[in-house]
Structure 1
Amino acid sequence: MTGARIVTGLLSTLTAAAVLACGSAASSPQTDATSAPVGETLTPLFSQALPNVPGKTFTSAVVTFPPAARAVPHRHGDAFVYAYVLEGAVSSQLEGTPAQVYHQGQSWSEPPGAHHVATENISRSDEAKLLVVFVATDGEQLKVDDPQP
């Protein structure tokens, strides 16, 4: 029992570290005046290995988009992703589908392997916040930005 708690704690810590790495990479400000607005920030809430699904971890986080902020195109590996709009409105687009605007109280999901080509706070004056839930392979990086030219 103690060993299982240690393993669960270690997995939770590693996953939280991966989430923090995603958030700090995504939140670094742009220094070039001609580049895109500042990106989103990610605040981890909870992470735990799923006891009934070996090899998978449940992670939740709040993603905050300042006014006019957008995320770099990215993927979430083999994670299943669920996003719920807590505040504001966000435009989201997966590769091969049209962009859709989601307002406070609306949600969407992303299948494993999806390419998230656009995510943007549509407001130029108010921030937007999402509750994002990942069901991912233990230890997998939760967000991998596309290479930038």
Structure 2
Amino acid sequence: MAADTTVSKQPSETLTPLLEQALPNVKGKTFTSAIVDFPPNARAVPHRHGSAFVYAYVLQGTVRSQLAGGPVRTYHQGQNWVEQPGAHHLLTENTSRTKSTKLLVIFISNTGDKLKVDDPPK
């Protein structure tokens, strides 16, 4: 009998843009707001947000996060954090196996830049 070679892939997050608007008083910069939904047990691939300044607010659930050079932190509903331009996001995961986690994320980015660039697979 052949061994089962099915590999279960851990769920990932989805980003749903709410508003994208060029900043009228800061040439070349765009404001983007989005809801990031982490289903139960979801984990994001390590990534960067380019030259964007990022603000994240936990709307629902609990998320574990780590930026390069910093400790692993856990954020609960109502808590928030910022990421400086060029930050390397090593860990972002929903801590629950049964409930979704949702974040409101605000990006101040260079107009036209990608908001998330995943690390290449190893």
Both proteins in one fold, TM over 0.5: yes
Equivalent residue in structure 2 for 1:93, among 54, 58, 66: 66
What residue is the counterpart of 2:14 in the other structure? 41
What residue is the counterpart of 1:22 in the other structure? none
Secondary structure of the residue aligned to 2:26 is coil
Q: Which letter maps to 1:110?
A: E
CA distance in 2, matches of 1:95, 1:139: 25
Equivalent residue in structure 1 for 2:27, among 45, 51, 54: 54
Per-residue deviation, residues 25-62 of structure 1 (Å, max 9, x unmatched): xxxxxxx8545411000111001000010000000000
Greater helix fraction, Structure 1 or Structure 2? 1
Q: Which letter maps to 2:64?
A: S
Greater strand fraction, Structure 1 or Structure 2? 2
Secondary structure of the residue aligned to 1:70 is coil
Equivalent residue in structure 2 for 1:127, among 89, 100, 106: 100
CA distance in 2, matches of 1:33, 1:105: 38
Q: Which letter maps to 2:59?
A: L
For normalisation by structure 2, the TM-score amounts to 0.93
Pairs within 5 Å for 1:130-141? 130-141=103-114
What residue is the counterpart of 1:63 in the other structure? 36
Query: What count of residue pairs does the alignment treat as equivalent?
Result: 118
Pairs within 5 Å for 1:71-86? 71-86=44-59
* Long gaps (5+) in structure 1: 1-31
* Long gaps (5+) in structure 2: none
